[in-house]
Amino acid sequence: MAIYGAETTTDEILEGLDLNGRHFMITGASSGLGEESARALSNAGATVTMLARNQDKLDAAVERIKTNVPMAGIQTGIVDLADLSSIRSYAEGFLQKETTIDVLINNAGIMACPFMQTKDGYEMQFGTNHIGHFLLTNLLMPAILKGQSPRIINLSSAGHTHSDVNLEDPNYEKTEYNAWESYGRSKSANIHFTRELVRRYESELQSFAVHPGVIITELGRHLTPELMEEMVERVKARSTSSSEAKETGGLPFKSMEAGAATQVWAATTSDLEENNGAYLGDCQVGVEGGNPSENGYLPYIYNEETAKELWALSEQLVQQEFLSN
């Protein structure tokens, strides 16, 4: 296994790799980590479908990529992950094209927003970060399973340490809303979803959950000084790897190229076959009890019963059943 770390970039991950003939689909691709992943993958020869809510922003991202990669094979699609009808409409149209998907990177997300609801009435962070991707992934599964060595990459976060999922009150109908707790629930859900995909599909596909690190992107658009202070205190409390991490909160900022590297690694490496379903950070396999700001995770994210129950709840919320196992 190649030795990578927190500062490894997307281009270093893909150096010497020929992705011609491979099709990658990326949600939240009009900026940030999604755009950088699309740039790097297309630069390595891949065909990339970039999904986002806004066509103008998508077109601008494509233009930026083609400035650097003139021959980039880019396609675009409009999907609002906070609107189940938008997801169904896109998936139906895509499947009619009979195009395969080799790798789906569920990169889109919303973080620490005020209490809001999706079009279908779900709490916004849980509804967008998990439910939207749950439905999109399952609807596109026929195209994914026809792909070459198919993979599903779910962008999670060290934020999973804020909270495990709450299966009894996923939409804050009974309890007081907290922005970071909600974010944690949704990021834990991303990992449980990853684990359950692997359990259900076994050797038919690979799936990984990824912590990208701390990067300045549009994801932080809802952050107030108060929320930032709360985040730092939460991180200090959970930092475990060193006294310095406990003091500073262990929040080293990454470049965009380093931030997107772990999901690009997860999407392309041959080094993870024995770690199917793993949580990854800093281009390494996660370590239980390690520093979450690096690649550490809390053990509740690997609870098989929680993953099964979350899948059942998700099916109930989208009112559609998928592969039973």
Instruction: Give me the active site residues, please.
Output: 183
| 133 vs 300: CA distance, rounded Å | 21
DSSP 278: -
Q: Find all residues with CB under 8 Å of 291, minimum gap 6, and list them.
A: 239, 240, 241, 242, 245, 250
| 147 vs 135: CA distance, rounded Å | 19
Cα 298-285-131 angle, rounded to 5 deg: 60
| 266 vs 294: CA distance, rounded Å | 16
Report how far apart, in Å, the C-alpha atoms of 50 and of each of 15, 23, 152, 216, 255 are. Answer: 22, 11, 15, 20, 21
Pairing, β 151-155 against β 103-106: parallel
Question: Nearest-CA neighbor of 102 among 73, 59, 68?
Answer: 73
If you search the block for the tokens 């973080």, which residue do you land on?
Answer: 111
Main-chain dihedrals φ then ψ at residue 6, nearest 5 degrees: -60, -30
